[in-house]
């Protein structure tokens, strides 16, 4: 396994620290200790914990948005397929990155000024993908919704709630959730294709490519520590 560099080591430590303590309860010293680095080494990369949080946000959205573009480029030129591929991807991303998702969804609001504006723009870029597809499907008479923006919010809210309760090895596997969420989305959009979603599960969406959460043996992992339940704000 490739050893992470100093910056990656700090980000892994910051992620776990924010997940366990919350942003407000985490200190720069906590992050340095978890990364097994000195404060001076940490400050070489990040001037504050807000900068570390922004780096996590930037990594999350850039990874997700880049992978989304790749998946949709492989999808058939059909709005039903594109929505189905996109929902599969978002579900698998949330299931593969429960810790990362909890931190990003809960703590991004702690950013301020230009960094918060940048984070919001990345968020809008992420959401606009679904909205454009849904709007195109409505124009073609395939989707029957009055407000594509609101429909997009509904899809994102449904998928973004997954990290609040999902547990690997639990009743619902990522594959089962993807099927159920694709079905629920197409039904919500009023698509006739909701009665036959199997053609959309052809292996094109590779869930293994979505993983960015730290593994148990990476620096900064909370191995041996009790897991703190992080509650997401109301959706």
Read off the CATH number of the domain in which 31 is found: 1.10.10.60
Residues 71 and 139 in one domain: yes
Residues 84 and 108 in one domain: yes
Cβ atoms of 48 and 59 within 8 Å: the answer is no
Task: Give the structural domain span for 7.
Answer: 1-47
- Total number of domains in the chain: 2
Instruction: Evaluate if residue 170 carries a pLDDT over 80.
Output: yes
Cα angle 72-178-206, degrees, rounded to a multiple of 5: 50
Among 47, 64, 81, the domain-final residue is: 47
What is the pLDDT at residue 169? 86
Mean pLDDT of 155-175: 93
Q: Is residue 232 part of a domain?
A: no
Q: Residue 219 — very low, low, confident or very high, per pLDDT cuts 50/70/90?
A: very low
CA nearest neighbour of 210 among 147, 164, 163: 163
Q: Residue 168 — very low, low, confident or very high, per pLDDT cuts 50/70/90?
A: confident
Instruction: Evaluate if residue 173 carries a pLDDT over 50.
Output: yes
Query: How remote is the C-alpha of 229 from its chain's centroid?
Result: 18
Residue given tokens 């008479």 in the structure block: 141
Cβ atoms of 46 and 25 within 8 Å: the answer is no
What is the pLDDT at residue 210? 60
The single-letter DSSP state of residue 208 is: G
Q: Is residue 102 part of a domain?
A: yes
Q: Give dist(CA 117, CA 111) in Å, integer.
A: 9
Q: Is residue 169 part of a domain?
A: yes
Predicted structure pTM score: 0.84
Cβ atoms of 98 and 163 within 8 Å: the answer is yes
pLDDT tens figures, 121-153: 999 999 899 999 999 999 999 999 999 999 999
Residues 40 and 54 in one domain: no
Mean of per-residue pLDDT scores for the chain: 87
In this structure, what token pair is assigned to residue 221? 């992992």
Q: Give dist(CA 31, CA 26) in Å, integer.
A: 7
Q: Residue 60 — very low, low, confident or very high, per pLDDT cuts 50/70/90?
A: very high
Q: Which residue has the higher pLDDT, 53 or 223?
A: 53
């Amino acid at each position: 396994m490739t050893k992470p560099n100093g910056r990656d080591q700090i980000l892994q430590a910051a992620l776990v620290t924010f997940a366990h303590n919350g942003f407000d309860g985490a200190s720069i010293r906590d992050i340095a200790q978890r990364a097994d680095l000195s404060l001076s080494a940490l400050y070489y990369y990040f001037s504050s914990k807000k900068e570390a949080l922004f780096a996590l946000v930037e990594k999350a959205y850039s990874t997700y948005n880049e992978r989304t573009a790749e998946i949709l480029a492989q999808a058939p030129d059909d709005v039903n397929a594109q929505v189905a591929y996109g929902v599969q991807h978002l579900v698998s991303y949330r299931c593969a990155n429960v810790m990362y998702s909890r931190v990003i969804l809960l703590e991004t609001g702690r950013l301020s000024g230009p960094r918060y504006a940048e984070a919001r723009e990345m968020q809008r870029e992420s959401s606009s993908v679904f909205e454009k597809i849904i709007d195109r499907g409505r124009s073609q008479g395939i989707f029957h919704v009055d407000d594509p923006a609101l429909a997009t919010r509904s899809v994102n809210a449904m998928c973004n709630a997954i990290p609040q309760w999902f547990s690997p090895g639990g009743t619902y596997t990522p594959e089962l959730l993807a099927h159920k969420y694709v079905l629920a989305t197409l039904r919500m959009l009023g698509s006739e294709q909701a009665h036959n979603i199997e053609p959309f599960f052809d292996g094109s969406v590779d869930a293994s490519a979505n993983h960015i959460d730290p593994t148990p043996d990476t620096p900064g992992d909370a191995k041996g520590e009790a897991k703190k339940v992080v509650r997401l704000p109301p959706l």
